[in-house]
Structure 1
């Protein structure tokens, strides 16, 4: 049991033995996530039973679905966006190398099939200092443009249920940033959604009460952040780091948390300590992803 802002959360593990789980998604009664450093996407039932796995060249990251049901999945190291048809075939959807200076990362896909893809922006593992970078927008036909610039490691991203607001975690700026989404998909009215000083926000998801859940790996915590930007709840994972989260399950209130003992590929590959933890959240998921 973990204590968080006056609430007691019972944390349970439903699946393990992964290298580095990230970018979870809930769709059609199944949990999808990228085991980034193992090069695989896994699909689990809500209770943790493995139903499918498939490889993605360059290591998978963010995922989302087009209106026709095809899956879009980011190739992190290759800086590409692949489209996976329902027969399992992967084809190139867009090349992001022209706008992403370093590894591509998390992503959200809106109801029109537009993908907003973040990237790390600097060589994290080589010890380079953080640098501003861009959020790419990819249209359903694969055209790439820059949706926003000057972002410090644009990472986990959500879109409100009405499709009008995008919220993104800027990991290296300790903040969540919001934008208005225009009819053509372009972003405007950049503003602060929440400052989370002392945290490096990673993967995020949105609930039906307008709260954002944000993984904070270095603090071994998942935060629940209110619409006014205040932290209203937190879940502590004492023995490992949470890197992303997603609401799903039968009633939408299962908060699936991607957990690993470390982020370095060499370390995680040896340990295979990645797992999926779950708590029951106070409100169901909403919006995209």
Structure 2
């Protein structure tokens, strides 16, 4: 065999081996892509399944709102039945009721009582944990009243912040406010000019208050000073930046109840959209939890922070329908 023939054959062999390597590499890449696609699909399926693993707490709740967990017991309001409910992990029982109250939130006070916001009566009623009336508050420190109290949150000091919403209607003026009821029983007006104030939440360090501007489709953030006063309002997140554009969106869709997660994420109940939006500290979407009812109002965490309790009316106009759910918190913890 000549050197030319030998060199040509060697080149041919090298070329053939190169083609085989290319085929093998392409096959390897395809296999890796297929594995990645399968893993991604499984992850998406797992996420979707997690969102659907709702445990029904109460399948027939009359416009449920404003849940809170106190010493392992879930309390929530039924606006349609003018009552506060108590769920101990086994049974739903009526704790308290008053005709005309229209309760929308139940929150603990530092003295052991529960603060019930009576949306229709426009008062705050303090009750014991066995359902006895303690006090009714209908004026702030300066003698002013408050319109349509809606959502409340513990201030971490034995008192609560709560929203005074104003009129819920297209074209309504921005008359919503945030009030503070201290542990000593002093009620002060802390923020105003909100286009239907709704859900409120306090950061884990107690230095920031978040408040829903429902008709503006925004969530505001405020600084909380050492005396509990609010200042420095700014927009934390605009729901139009989180939701896909929808030309058919109706006016009532917006941020309702808020809940602060132990990991620092903020849970936003989007009323009319049938889901919870979970956003991180930068205002970016971390997860979505879907529920069957469109008019989801609020959520609250279990004592260990692993479960979310969700209140979800089924209708904008019917006060006698809705459900209460529980679900595992869907955002994985980071080491």
Instruction: Indicate the TM-score class for this superposition, using the shorter chain for normalisation.
Output: 0.7 to 0.9
Shift of 1:277: 1.7
> Tell me, what secondary structure is at the counterpart of 2:228?
coil
- Indicate conservation of the 8 Å contact 1:258/1:275, yes or no: yes
Shift of 1:128: 6.0
Higher-Rg structure is 2
How high is the TM-score relative to the length of structure 2? 0.74
- In structure 2, how many angstroms separate the alpha carbons of the residues matched to 1:189 and 1:7? 37
Change (3 A) 1:252 1:135: same
Matched, 1:205 2:259: yes
> Tell me, what secondary structure is at the counterpart of 2:296?
strand
Q: Deviations over 1:112-155 (max 9, x none)?
A: 2332221221154xx66243322122223333221001112111
Which of 1 and 2 has higher RCO (CA within 8 Å, sep 6+)? 1
Aligned to 1:103: 148
Change (3 A) 1:162 1:217: same
Matched, 1:131 2:174: yes
- In structure 2, how many angstroms separate the alpha carbons of the residues matched to 1:35 and 1:238? 18
How high is the TM-score relative to the length of structure 1? 0.85
- In structure 1, how many angstroms separate the alpha carbons of the residues matched to 2:310 and 2:173? 26
> Tell me, what secondary structure is at the counterpart of 1:121?
coil
- In structure 1, how many angstroms separate the alpha carbons of the residues matched to 2:234 and 2:60? 40
Number of residue-to-residue matches in the alignment = 274
Matched, 1:223 2:277: yes
- In structure 2, how many angstroms separate the alpha carbons of the residues matched to 1:242 and 1:25? 15
> Tell me, what secondary structure is at the counterpart of 1:232?
strand
- In structure 1, how many angstroms separate the alpha carbons of the residues matched to 2:298 and 2:128? 25
More helix by share: 2
Gaps of 5+ in 1: 285-289
- Indicate conservation of the 8 Å contact 1:84/1:90, yes or no: yes
Alignment of 1:116-265 (within 5 A): 116-122=161-167, 124=169, 129-197=172-240, 200-248=254-302, 251-264=304-317
- In structure 1, how many angstroms separate the alpha carbons of the residues matched to 2:284 and 2:63? 29
2:47 pairs with one of 7, 16, 39: 7
Change (3 A) 1:6 1:170: farther
- What is the RMSD computed on CA atoms of the aligned residues? 2.6
Q: Deviations over 1:221-278 (max 9, x none)?
A: 11111110011211222454311111116x42111111121132xx233xxx311122
